[in-house]
């Protein structure tokens, strides 16, 4: 995994204190902590309904001392913003050629040295969608790492880390259990987030 703002000395400490102060000023409460079992994990990022999710997610990650990487559409990694997006932990995804994305992500996660949390939005888009993509599930399963249920609730201004979920192999039952956890949370554009199909 490439170096990011979260692994850059001095900068990460300064931005952690800035993030804590900004979130408090805006009335946000950061909850939970990364358990030892989650030092290598897949973090679900939900609800994902707005461009504002990224800066808030990064600030919450600083507050919780995470080492996150996140996936974004390839177009936001073009000049001149590409290097900045990568430094922020971004990994470019070509949605038209995603057949090997799960395998490549799982391999990178398994081989990474040190703590790595791969953030994946299950909706795969900020737009309203009925169906959750299962890529995050199979990445975790193939890399043999747990899934951490991270959340951001704009209605109560709470964000943080929920329970650790270990895939059982029963995709339907596991997805139902995960969706039930997220059912109470509201995204910035609440009508675009759906846990029921």
Average the pLDDT over 73-81 and give the result.
84
| Total Cβ atoms within 10 A of residue 8 | 13
- Within a domain: 97: yes
Instruction: Kindly tell me if the per-residue pLDDT of 99 is higher than 80.
Output: no
Question: Is 158 within 8 Å of 150 (Cβ atoms)?
Answer: no
Longest alpha-carbon distance in the chain: 45
- Within a domain: 141: yes
Domain residue limits at 160: 5-192
Q: Counting Cβ atoms within 10 Å, is residue 85 exposed (0-12), middle (13-18) or buried (19+)?
A: middle
Confidence of residue 128 (pLDDT cuts 50, 70, 90): very low
- Within a domain: 69: yes
State pLDDT tens for residues 12-54: 999 999 999 999 999 999 999 998 889 999 999 888 788 888 8
Instruction: Kindly tell me if the per-residue pLDDT of 127 is higher than 60.
Output: no
| Total Cβ atoms within 10 A of residue 159 | 25
- Within a domain: 34: yes
Within 8 A by CB and 6+ apart from 21, the residues are none
Instruction: Kindly tell me if the per-residue pLDDT of 180 is higher than 60.
Output: yes
Share of the chain above pLDDT 70, in %: 88
Q: What is the pTM of this model?
A: 0.82
Average the pLDDT over 154-179 and give the result.
93
- Within a domain: 197: no
Confidence of residue 1 (pLDDT cuts 50, 70, 90): confident
Q: Is residue 150 reached through a cis peptide bond, with omega within 30 degrees of 0 on the bond before it?
A: no
Give the helix ranges, DSSP H, for 98-182.
101-111, 135-143, 171-182
Question: Is 140 within 8 Å of 42 (Cβ atoms)?
Answer: yes
The number of folded domains in the chain is 1
The SS3 assignment for 150 reads: strand
Instruction: Kindly tell me if the per-residue pLDDT of 179 is higher than 60.
Output: yes
Confidence of residue 98 (pLDDT cuts 50, 70, 90): low
- Within a domain: 127: yes
- Within a domain: 135: yes
Q: Report which of residues 20 and 102 the model is more confident about.
A: 20
Q: Where are the beta strands (DSSP E) in 68-124?
A: 68-73, 90-93, 116-120
Of the CA atoms within 13 Å of residue 145, those in its CB half-sphere come to 29
- Within a domain: 104: yes
The SS3 assignment for 46 reads: strand
């Amino acid at each position: 995994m490439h170096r990011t703002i979260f692994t850059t000395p001095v900068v990460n400490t300064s931005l952690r204190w800035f993030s804590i102060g900004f979130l408090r000023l805006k009335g946000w409460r950061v909850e939970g902590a990364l358990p030892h079992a989650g030092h290598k994990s897949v973090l679900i990022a939900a609800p994902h309904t707005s461009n504002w999710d990224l800066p808030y997610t990064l600030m919450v990650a600083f507050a919780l001392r995470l080492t996150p990487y996140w996936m974004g559409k390839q177009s936001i990694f073009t000049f001149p913003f590409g290097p900045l997006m990568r430094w922020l932990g971004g990994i470019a995804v070509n949605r038209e050629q995603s057949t090997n994305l799960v395998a490549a992500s799982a391999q990178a996660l398994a081989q990474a040295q040190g703590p790595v949390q791969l953030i994946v939005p299950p909706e795969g888009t900020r737009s309203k969608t009925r169906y959750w993509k299962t890529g995050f599930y199979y990445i975790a399963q193939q890399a043999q790492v747990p899934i951490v249920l991270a959340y951001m609730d704009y209605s109560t201004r709470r964000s943080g880390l929920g329970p650790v979920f270990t895939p059982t192999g029963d995709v339907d039952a596991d997805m139902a259990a995960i969706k039930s956890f997220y059912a109470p949370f509201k995204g910035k554009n609440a009508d675009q987030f759906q846990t029921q199909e």
